[in-house]
Structure 1
Amino acid sequence: MSIRTNILLRVYLAFGLILLFAVAVVVQMYRLQYVQGNKWKAMASKLSTKYENVEATRGNIYSVDGSLLATSVPEYELHMDMFAGGIAEDKIFYSKVDSLASKLSALYPERSERDYSRMLRDARKDSSRYQLIRRKVTFQELKEIRRFPIFKLGKYKGGLIVLAQNKRILPFRSLAARTIGYKNENVKNAVGLEGAYAGYINGENGKRLMQRIAGGVYVPVNNDEDEVTAKDGADIISTINVNFQDVAQKALKKQLDSIQADFGTVVLMEVATGEIRAIANFTRTKEGDYEERFNYAIGAEAEPGSTFKLATYMTLLDQHKIDTSSKVDIEHGIYNMVNPHNGKVFLHIKDAEDGGSVISAKHAFEESSNVAAVKFVYSHYKDNPREFTDALYRYHLNERNGLQIPGEGQPLIKNPSSKSWNKLQSVAQMAYGYELKLSPLQMLTFYNSVANNGKMISPIFVREIRSMGNTVEHFQAKVINPKVCSDEALAKVKGLLEGVVLEGTGKLVIKNKLYSVAGKTGTAQIANGSSGYGEKNAHQASFCGYFPADHPKYSMIVVISNPKVGSHLAAHVAGPVFRKIADRVYASDLDINHSAPLHLVGNTTMPKVKQGNLAALKQVYSKLGLKPLYAAANTGIDTSSGIPFEENKYKAGTVPTVTGMGLSDALYLLGNAGYKVGVKGSGVVTAQSVTGGSTIPKGSKITIELQ
């Protein structure tokens, strides 16, 4: 073979290989473009864009009087696209960047104008499309920032990228904090109303399209079509009364500070509805202060002690075992129960004081005699203890109340079939509140049934759920037991409870001249595990009752554990807290604090007016010659001189009261105060979602209803 032929063969071979490679490339390109095109397009889109959740605004939690207990306020994170459409040219950007830096420095003076200018210029040089400007920006600050140079060019031209976030705040801070609860993704067990009603409060998250840019950073795509708007959560209307809650917390904490107890709890409930008006729980910290760390009212089941004697005497009276006049020898407050088979003492019972010898059942209850309770129960039920325990089960004391918030303790009421039942002493111990367990709220529920004429209802914490101002669900207390005992027995136990305060252990501390109270003290030793009751000599003091006794409106329980200073007796430990709260509630509730009735006098046809422009209102009244038409009976006040007017003033930083106003005046006041306003209906403002005088962050939304 000649050299020329050899060279040609090599050229043809090389050309053929190149041609073959080119054909393979074309085939593969066709395959990628048309055969597998959809697959790779989807993958590319997935790698360069993604949808990110937009957190919904969580619903508010309100008190029963309309005050905000928990709300979400908007908080923003600001970024900047340094090459947005309006500043793509260097001339435009550099002519305004110093002005922008000056405005940012004036609003956030922790950085100088020079620092801001340098930051923005460096970001421009680095071709940043997502430069961080500021975190934790408020709504009012954002409104101002949108008017800054460059940013005022608009959403797309000015380069301002706003990421909205929600910050949960409690306007009243620690007030009912544990009952309100909190949202924590890392905590499995729901806490308070925030946890129990998360399905309503959380709303539905939206979606926002994010695109990856250089450096692996994702920035939002400014395309409204690619966004799914978040759906705001529903509002919770709780049963808590802010004023009563404040009184309860202060009274409890002051007492805990003075006696250095381990913890304390108080619950105030409305008798007829079962609505919880106040609930406070304080735990002593290592530093000696008190904080809300655990909801003892619903979750701390313990031996209640003498407050349980209400169930004991109710059973004895309802089954006609005794009457209030029945006699019992309390043996000067010391009684030893002896085993008839071996003559050994198996139970030693002692009263707090020497109460004498033979007394009536009424007097024994009033003085909280343990000896009397044991003797009555043991003499009638020792041969058939199930008759006694079955009655307790009929009261449903062995069952949870089924509360609206999680964490309710499991009550323990033994019966002869229980593994820990002691044939000799269990029924005797139960007579005065031992060898059984109840939470404070479960005990209060039982006492409330007496105040409620025998109707036992489950306590509730939430009255209503509202979405967009409309009621989604309304709650009422469920009936646990329509009639706990006969009317005859009910009347007798009411008399016993009133006697405790009038003549018994609560006389010196709780009795007062303004209103009547019915209730029972309870001082229980706290067991120290297997070591028994004597080692620590610690006590739990409680008072449970209702007021006014003649027409009950509220029931309340106070429980304080292990006081270390002063007396450990319930009347001196829990009694003062009960009295202080009851006094304040009675003084502020017009339904039970009977004031002088209002009488109409003179012409009662008034012209309809809207609050607002006071000067105009005065002029109209003056021209019409109208005089006051309403006066309190027997006040002795001459009302013929004219109508008293009150300026519509509000404290800066608080919500103005706009009820009674027209729409324009209401919008003017609320807008000037810095709030967003939602309007429903027309006419006169009849309701506002946030009570006047409340303190909430500016930028929050307030809904007003007009009729």
Structure 2
Amino acid sequence: MIPEQKKVMLRYTTLVLFFALMSVCIIVKAGLIMFAERQYWKDVADRFVKENVAIPPTRGNIISADGKLMASSLPEYKIYMDFKAGGYKKDTMLMNHLQEICEGLHQIFPDKSAQEFRRHILKGRKQKSRNYLLYPKRISYIEYKEVKKLPVFCLGKYQSGFHELSFNQRKKPFGSLAMRTLGDMYPDMAQGAKNGLELAYDSLLKGENGITHRQKVMNKYLNIVDKPAVDGYDIITTIDVNMQDIAEKALVDQLKNLEAQSGVAVVMEVATGEVKANVNMTRASDGNYYEMRNLAISNLMEPGSTFKTASIMVAMEDKYITPDYVVDTGNGIVNMHGSNMKDWNWHHGGYGPLDVTHILEYSSNVGVSTIIDKFYGKDPQKFIDGLRRMDIDTPLHLGIAGEASPRILGPKERSYFARTTLPWMSIGYETMFPPIYILNFYNAIANNGVMVKPKFVKAIARDGDIVEEFETEVVNPKICSDTTLMYIREILKKVVSEGLAKQAGSKQFSVSGKTGTAQISQGKAGYKSGKTKYLVSFCGYFPSENPKYSCIVSIEGPNGYPSGGVQAGSVFSRIAERIYAKHLYKDLAEAKDSTAIFIPDVKNGDLKEAAFILQQLNIASNGSSIPQGKNPVWGKATHTANEAELKKMTTNKKLVPNVKGMGAKDAVYLLESYGLRVKLSGLGKVSAQSIQPGSYIHKGQTISLTLTN
């Protein structure tokens, strides 16, 4: 026994010494790692951790005034294949399903045949590529999801080798509509916006980057979010998609007809200054028209005759003239300090004596310039001050890149103010205006003299909730006296109804406004170097009595005889009539006889629903007598001169009910609850049923219903 005990003790002692030695080694090694090798192992750990990796936010949407998505950030993908991933098992599956995969890819991307995809994939397999591009173009999210359904590709990344690279791209569901107003992004969205509202509101739209660190665990990186990304705000614009489409089509059709260089059409809501449509078209080398620049806010041009309204208003405000003031325009030519001022019809002998109303109706250059030269020739600055009292040249600061400000240079701003400058300035030369400033001036006339700032954005939203609304800004609470306003509004109405702007009018409603036809300066070469170029325009508002919308149409370089009334006015008319048809209507209350009681025709069916609707519309009925509960109350509806009458009908589940006069929903619900199958034809209310009411029901029997309006 003693020898055996010694052997046990020896083994035990050996084990204790071994574990003690191992413990010492572990402690020593730990010490070495903690102190001697600390920096080495820290560097190794750093290679498996990526700090401060940015998480890009989703850029906010741009939404139209009528709630339609106009610009949004959507993902796009490039798809790749790792032919080494998944090993032999994946490779076997790939070859077994190759034909199916290639045919599926062809269905998703018809521009490549199944054979082309097969050759392409086999080429990548032969190369044993780890990042082989399967399809050269970026694909949409929907296409990506379809590809992910294909055999093999539907497996995980490390099993199938199928992987993707995602990109955030800015998409415009309405294509080029309002493109320059919305603006563009750089191809790499991280570089930001180029122009338009995208640039003006970039700080709100882009959101804030999040921060994450990536740590490698078992050959995989795990994303650990330190700070989540904050998505951008949504911008709700004032643009109405329907109005934009109406204005664009009307303008482009005319530009093509006239083979013009460019054109602008802007529609603004009178009371609020909300820009409902902003079209800016320029002819490209291919002969088609595209939105290349925001001409409405950046194109500085001499406005021509649309400016005459402002000149006449200054003279009216200073009480020099009234609508009855007469100027003898003679034969249409008058010498203005050494230069001939001509009316458009001078070669027909001119107009002779004209009062102020007819001067604007016929857009007489001689008439307007004679008035302004007579009363302000000795003090041009007084005329300039009169214009500035109306804030016609006050910078609007619209906040959109490329915005230009008007230029009216009086004696104080010029080193030399020629005697001919004032007469030509009074008819729209020697001044420079972007189209939207001229529109804003006429909008103030329509708005009872209140000049408001045009606005392109009405609200900022996030997750469907309004964060901030932009109120209407008043630039000038009263651009002129009520007397002047009354005079000029009556004159502008006659310009369209009786003057040169008849083409801008409508048979459906009255229009007010002023034509403009101006020669375009060629710079130092003057106005008549080579072929004379013209800018034709019409600016006005509608309906005249209660203006709702103002609009300017401006066309540069039209072919044919230049005429603001014919060439631009006809576009205005088409825009106005289509907007009027879609957006302006008479209130039902205005059309209704005040002595009449309006009782609608109510369908038969569930009387509880009918009673509820009648109550919500404040229409008199006996709905309070209808019993309440979960189940429908079936019956008929009639009406007297004073109220709607709802009468409950008795039902028997063994007999076919009478569903005549019911809507499709109620009729189908009732008949199917009785065990019948229903077949419908037509629209409206049930006018006939194939099985007569009161017939015995056979479960599963088909009953045909005919519906008519």
Task: Pick from 192, 204, 208 the counterpart of residue 204 of structure 1.
Answer: 208
2:402 paired with 1:401:
no
Q: Which moved more, 1:544-553 or 1:161-170?
A: 161-170
Separation in structure 2 between the aligned mates of residue 352 and residue 172 of structure 1, nearest angstrom: 42
Separation in structure 2 between the aligned mates of residue 646 and residue 235 of structure 1, nearest angstrom: 38
2:627 paired with 1:625:
no
Match of 1:331 in 2: 330
Separation in structure 2 between the aligned mates of residue 121 and residue 271 of structure 1, nearest angstrom: 66
2:661 paired with 1:642:
yes
2:348 paired with 1:348:
no
Q: How does 1:103-122 map to 2 (within 5 A)?
A: 103-109=100-106, 110-112=113-115, 114-115=118-119, 118=122, 121-122=125-126
Whether the 8 Å contact between 1:510 and 1:576 is mirrored in structure 2 is: yes
How has the CA–CA distance of structure 1 residues 629 and 293 changed in structure 2, closer, same or farther, with 3 Å as cutoff? farther
Identity %: 37
Q: Which moved more, 1:73-82 or 1:577-586?
A: 73-82
Whether the 8 Å contact between 2:215 and 2:221 is mirrored in structure 1 is: no
Match of 1:668 in 2: none
Separation in structure 1 between the aligned mates of residue 213 and residue 82 of structure 2, nearest angstrom: 16
The alpha-carbon deviation at position 380 of structure 1 amounts to 1.2
Match of 2:352 in 1: 357
Task: Pick from 175, 178, 188 the counterpart of residue 177 of structure 2.
Answer: 175
Per-residue CA deviation, residues 282-338 of structure 1 (Å, 9 max, x unaligned), is 112233222211111111011111101111111111121111111211122111023
The alpha-carbon deviation at position 400 of structure 1 amounts to 1.9
Secondary structure of 1:282's aligned partner: strand
Secondary structure of 2:479's aligned partner: coil
Secondary structure of 1:325's aligned partner: coil
2:580 paired with 1:586:
yes
Per-residue CA deviation, residues 249-287 of structure 1 (Å, 9 max, x unaligned), is 111111111111111111011101111111111112233
The alpha-carbon deviation at position 513 of structure 1 amounts to 2.6
2:449 paired with 1:469:
no
The alpha-carbon deviation at position 179 of structure 1 amounts to 1.1
Gaps of 5+ in 1: 1-25, 213-219, 339-344, 610-619, 632-639, 648-707
Separation in structure 1 between the aligned mates of residue 381 and residue 571 of structure 2, nearest angstrom: 37
Whether the 8 Å contact between 2:302 and 2:428 is mirrored in structure 1 is: yes
How has the CA–CA distance of structure 1 residues 184 and 108 changed in structure 2, closer, same or farther, with 3 Å as cutoff? same
Task: Pick from 476, 496, 516 the counterpart of residue 481 of structure 1.
Answer: 476
Match of 1:537 in 2: 532
Across the two proteins, how many residue pairs are aligned to each other? 580
Per-residue CA deviation, residues 335-359 of structure 1 (Å, 9 max, x unaligned), is 1023xxxxxx1x3211112443222
The alpha-carbon deviation at position 396 of structure 1 amounts to 1.9
How has the CA–CA distance of structure 1 residues 117 and 243 changed in structure 2, closer, same or farther, with 3 Å as cutoff? closer
Separation in structure 2 between the aligned mates of residue 120 and residue 227 of structure 1, nearest angstrom: 39
Task: Pick from 365, 369, 390 the counterpart of residue 370 of structure 1.
Answer: 365
How has the CA–CA distance of structure 1 residues 117 and 537 changed in structure 2, closer, same or farther, with 3 Å as cutoff? closer
Match of 2:697 in 1: none
Match of 2:249 in 1: 250
Separation in structure 1 between the aligned mates of residue 493 and residue 103 of structure 2, nearest angstrom: 67
Separation in structure 2 between the aligned mates of residue 486 and residue 544 of structure 1, nearest angstrom: 21
Whether the 8 Å contact between 1:209 and 1:221 is mirrored in structure 2 is: no
How has the CA–CA distance of structure 1 residues 163 and 54 changed in structure 2, closer, same or farther, with 3 Å as cutoff? farther
The alpha-carbon deviation at position 238 of structure 1 amounts to 1.4
Whether the 8 Å contact between 1:330 and 1:356 is mirrored in structure 2 is: yes
How has the CA–CA distance of structure 1 residues 492 and 210 changed in structure 2, closer, same or farther, with 3 Å as cutoff? same
The alpha-carbon deviation at position 606 of structure 1 amounts to 2.9
Secondary structure of 2:138's aligned partner: strand
Whether the 8 Å contact between 1:99 and 1:149 is mirrored in structure 2 is: no
Secondary structure of 1:466's aligned partner: strand
The CA RMSD measured in Å over matched residues stands at 3.7
How has the CA–CA distance of structure 1 residues 458 and 121 changed in structure 2, closer, same or farther, with 3 Å as cutoff? same
Question: Who wins on radius of gyration, i.e. which is larger?
Answer: 2
Question: Which amino acid is the alignment partner of residue 525 of structure 1?
Answer: Q
Whether the 8 Å contact between 1:396 and 1:481 is mirrored in structure 2 is: yes
How has the CA–CA distance of structure 1 residues 624 and 154 changed in structure 2, closer, same or farther, with 3 Å as cutoff? farther
Gaps of 5+ in 2: 1-28, 107-112, 603-608, 614-630, 643-658, 667-709
Whether the 8 Å contact between 2:459 and 2:467 is mirrored in structure 1 is: yes
The alpha-carbon deviation at position 593 of structure 1 amounts to 8.5
Per-residue CA deviation, residues 562-594 of structure 1 (Å, 9 max, x unaligned), is 212x22021111111011111111111244688
Per-residue CA deviation, residues 492-550 of structure 1 (Å, 9 max, x unaligned), is 1111111101221113x123331001100111111111222222322111100000000
Per-residue CA deviation, residues 212-241 of structure 1 (Å, 9 max, x unaligned), is 9xxxxxxx9541326865443222221111
Match of 1:193 in 2: 197
For normalisation by structure 1, the TM-score amounts to: 0.74
Q: How does 1:210-229 map to 2 (within 5 A)?
A: 221-225=220-224
Separation in structure 1 between the aligned mates of residue 262 and residue 140 of structure 2, nearest angstrom: 39
2:552 paired with 1:557:
yes
How has the CA–CA distance of structure 1 residues 324 and 33 changed in structure 2, closer, same or farther, with 3 Å as cutoff? farther
How has the CA–CA distance of structure 1 residues 608 and 136 changed in structure 2, closer, same or farther, with 3 Å as cutoff? farther
How has the CA–CA distance of structure 1 residues 298 and 645 changed in structure 2, closer, same or farther, with 3 Å as cutoff? farther
Q: Which moved more, 1:195-204 or 1:253-262?
A: 195-204
Question: Which amino acid is the alignment partner of residue 60 of structure 1?
Answer: N
Secondary structure of 1:540's aligned partner: strand
Secondary structure of 2:461's aligned partner: strand
Match of 2:705 in 1: none
Whether the 8 Å contact between 1:586 and 1:592 is mirrored in structure 2 is: no
Separation in structure 2 between the aligned mates of residue 602 and residue 330 of structure 1, nearest angstrom: 62
Secondary structure of 2:393's aligned partner: coil
Whether the 8 Å contact between 2:506 and 2:577 is mirrored in structure 1 is: no
Separation in structure 2 between the aligned mates of residue 630 and residue 572 of structure 1, nearest angstrom: 52
The alpha-carbon deviation at position 646 of structure 1 amounts to 9.1
Whether the 8 Å contact between 1:627 and 1:643 is mirrored in structure 2 is: no
Match of 1:315 in 2: 314
Whether the 8 Å contact between 2:193 and 2:202 is mirrored in structure 1 is: no
How has the CA–CA distance of structure 1 residues 107 and 185 changed in structure 2, closer, same or farther, with 3 Å as cutoff? closer
Question: Which amino acid is the alignment partner of residue 367 of structure 2?
Answer: A
How has the CA–CA distance of structure 1 residues 164 and 608 changed in structure 2, closer, same or farther, with 3 Å as cutoff? farther
Separation in structure 2 between the aligned mates of residue 50 and residue 262 of structure 1, nearest angstrom: 55
Question: Which amino acid is the alignment partner of residue 551 of structure 2?
Answer: M
Whether the 8 Å contact between 2:601 and 2:638 is mirrored in structure 1 is: no
